[in-house]
Amino acid sequence: MASSRPRDLQLNENGRLRHFLTIEGLSRDLLIRILDTAESFAALPGRPVKKVPLLRGRIITNLFFENSTRTRTTFELAAKLLSADVINFNIGTSATSKGETLLDTLRNIEAMHSDMFVVRHAQSGAAHFIAEHASPRVSVINAGDGRHAHPTQAMLDMFTIRKHKGDFTPLRVAIVGDVLHSRVARSQILALNTLGVSEVRVVGPRTLLPSDARSMGVHVFHDLAEGIRDVDVVIMLRLQNERMDGALLPSEHEYFRLYGLTDERLENAKPDAIVMHPGPMNRGIELDSAVADGPRSVILQQVSYGIAVRMAVLSMAMQSQADLEVEA
């Protein structure tokens, strides 16, 4: 039986996750379901037999049009732990570098019988475009598109927060740094507000915060000490110099003087506050090494938890494909 087009591109008619393109529009219940599913996978990497057969016989293709080591590696490992076969598409030597259109590239890779595309692209909306034009039997996971969204990074950050803090509702969270150019920050803000935290703050110089920041459901601070005062979670962001147009900062040294996180400045947060960074981090610019390596840092845990969260998203999206196969 043919299935009609879902009203929401990300969900199938049974309310299952078909594509994972953005946090926007997803319910709190679905985000909690992702976190709960990730919890069931979190212990696997430490076991003698790490693999589970959930995606045996499935083919997952990593389409990384933009460089990334950490994200691509964790997606690849997540897929292999689920027993899927993985293809890493080498964009540097691909036909797209020779003038082939994105749509033609998509059609050619579909002809190789992939079941899922994990897409990273420098252009905002690229993953959404691919999802709209892909075969109904292919799921698309957004691994970061331009300044728009990075939903799996946001969800691994939410998983990290829940592991260390439990209930989201009483928490105050500060996101510090280059929010303007950060797709991660946008996804984090959406996820935090959907999960019902008490307060989300963004902290940084005016030149690195969106002009409409308040409309995103955050409180805006330009002073670091005030911005992290009494917060439970401090998320530091990388300065994305490659996305900046013009001189938005006097210097990196001046940025660290005003917004770099040190042990002394961290005293403004709650005594049990945790420090996060989606990576890659620049020591001595965004935060001091004493903080990055200190007892309140959970930066390495974020990387580990990323495997479980990406396993959750891959398995949940592939389940929606199983729904289609049953209907057919």
What are 283's strand-pairing partners?
287
Active site residue 71: yes
Q: What is the DSSP string of 255-298?
A: HHHHH-B-HHHHTTS-TT-EEE--S---BTTTB-HHHHTSTTB-
Q: Which of 19, 120, 147, 148 is catalytic?
A: 120
Which pair of structure tokens corresponds to residue 254?
């001046």
Would you tell me the crossing angle of helices 299-327 and 151-165 to the nearest 10 degrees? 120
Active site residue 150: yes
Of 280, 151, 176, give the one whose Cα is nearest residue 233: 176
Active site residue 98: yes
Q: Is 80 exposed, middle or buried (0-12, 13-18, 19+ CB in 10 A)?
A: middle
Give the separation between CA 222 and CA 186, rounded to whole angstroms: 18
Active site residue 169: no
Active site residue 70: yes
Give the separation between CA 310 and CA 313, rounded to whole angstroms: 5
What are 200's strand-pairing partners?
173
Q: Which of 58, 150, 172, 201 is catalytic?
A: 150
User: Long-range CB contacts (< 8 A, 24+ apart) of 165-170?
Assistant: 165/232, 165/233, 165/274, 168/192, 168/195, 168/196, 168/197, 169/196, 169/197, 169/198, 170/198, 170/232
List active site positions. Answer: 70-71, 98, 120, 150
